[in-house]
Structure 1
Amino acid sequence: MSDTIKNTEALAPLLEQIKDLLGHIEYGSVELIFHHGKLVQLEKHEKVRFDKN
């Protein structure tokens, strides 16, 4: 199996996790953390906004 196919198969679950995080955030950010060129962590920072009234 080629490296490209292996990498594509390995990315599928990661992309689903990122898609899930982005789908549930109204205000904030999603951060990808890399160490030595490898993704090791996803962080979700969400802000809660209150009505000014």
Structure 2
Amino acid sequence: MKKQVFKVLAKMNKLLLPSFTKKQLDISKATKVQLAIIGWRAFVTINSLK
């Protein structure tokens, strides 16, 4: 059940949130909001793969 929720969240992230790797964002110059989005996407991805 938990894995399914994270899989849905991962698909929503892909559609709604920006991809910073495609924009070639430099992590050292990222704002706090951008870092929060990166962290959220990583958290959801890790939990959807468990």
TM-score (norm 2): 0.37
Q: Per chain length, whose mean CA-contact separation is higher, i.e. which structure has more relative contact order (CA < 8 Å, sep 6+)?
A: 2
- Structure holding more strand per residue: 1
